[in-house]
Amino acid sequence: MDSLSRHEDYGQESLDESQLVTNPIEQFRNWLVSAEEAGIYEPNAFVLSTVTSANTPSSRTVLLKGVEDNGFVFFTNFSSRKGQAIEQNPHVSAVFGWYSIYRQVLIEGTVERVSERDSEEYFHSRPHESQVAAWSSRQSEPIESRSMLDERFGEALKRFDGQVVPKPDYWGGYRIVPSRIEFWKGRSNRMHDRIAFARTLEAENWKVTRLQP
Ligand SMILES: Cc1cc2nc3c(=O)[nH]c(=O)nc-3n(C[C@H](O)[C@H](O)[C@H](O)COP(=O)(O)O)c2cc1C
- Catalogue all structural domains in the chain, each as residue range(s) with its CATH number: 6-211 (2.30.110.10)
Ligand 1: nearest atom to the Cα of 74: 8
The total number of residues written for the chain in this structure: 213
Distances 137 to 56, 149, 155 between C-alpha atoms, Å: 24, 7, 12
Active site residues: 190
Instruction: Kindly tell me if the per-residue pLDDT of 200 is higher than 90.
Output: no
> Which residue's CA lies nearest to atom 28 of ligand 1?
62
**Ligand 1 near 50 CB (within 6 A):** no
Quote the pLDDT of residue 97.
Answer: 98
**Ligand 1 near 63 CB (within 6 A):** yes
Instruction: Kindly tell me if the per-residue pLDDT of 37 is higher than 90.
Output: yes
Determine contact, residues 111/201, Cβ cutoff 8 Å.
Answer: no
Query: How far is ligand 1, taken at its centre, from the CA of residue 46, in Å?
Result: 10
Quote the pLDDT of residue 13.
Answer: 87
Pairing of strands 45-51, 193-198: unpaired
Query: What is this structure's pTM?
Result: 0.96
Ligand 1: nearest atom to the Cα of 81: 27
- DSSP states of the chain as a string? -GGGG------S----GGGS-SSHHHHHHHHHHHHHHTT-SSTTEEEEEEE-TT--EEEEEEEEEEEETTEEEEEEETTSHHHHHHHH--EEEEEEEEGGGTEEEEEEEEEEEPPHHHHHHHHHHS-HHHHHHHHH--TTS--S-HHHHHHHHHHHHHHTTTSPPPPPTTEEEEEEEEEEEEEEE--GGG--EEEEEE--TT--PPEEEEE--
Query: How far is ligand 1, taken at its centre, from the CA of residue 164, in Å?
Result: 24
**Ligand 1 near 191 CB (within 6 A):** no
Instruction: Kindly tell me if the per-residue pLDDT of 172 is higher than 80.
Output: yes
Percent of the chain whose predicted confidence (pLDDT) is above 70: 100
For 37, how many CA atoms within 13 A lie in the half-sphere containing its CB? 6
For 9, how many CA atoms within 13 A lie in the half-sphere containing its CB? 4
Average pLDDT over residues 45-64: 98
**Ligand 1 near 122 CB (within 6 A):** no
**Ligand 1 near 74 CB (within 6 A):** yes
Instruction: Kindly tell me if the per-residue pLDDT of 201 is higher than 80.
Output: no
Span 124-133, pLDDT tens digits: 999 999 999 9
Cα maximum dimension of the chain: 59
Query: How far is ligand 1, taken at its centre, from the CA of residue 101, in Å?
Result: 24
CB atoms within 10 A of CB 81: 17
Query: How far is ligand 1, taken at its centre, from the CA of residue 61, in Å?
Result: 5
Instruction: Kindly tell me if the per-residue pLDDT of 203 is higher than 80.
Output: no
**Ligand 1 near 140 CB (within 6 A):** yes
Instruction: Kindly tell me if the per-residue pLDDT of 191 is higher than 80.
Output: yes
Average pLDDT over residues 6-34: 91
Query: How far is ligand 1, taken at its centre, from the CA of residue 63, in Å?
Result: 8
Least confident range from 50-64, 113-127, 188-202: namely 188-202
Average pLDDT over residues 47-52: 99
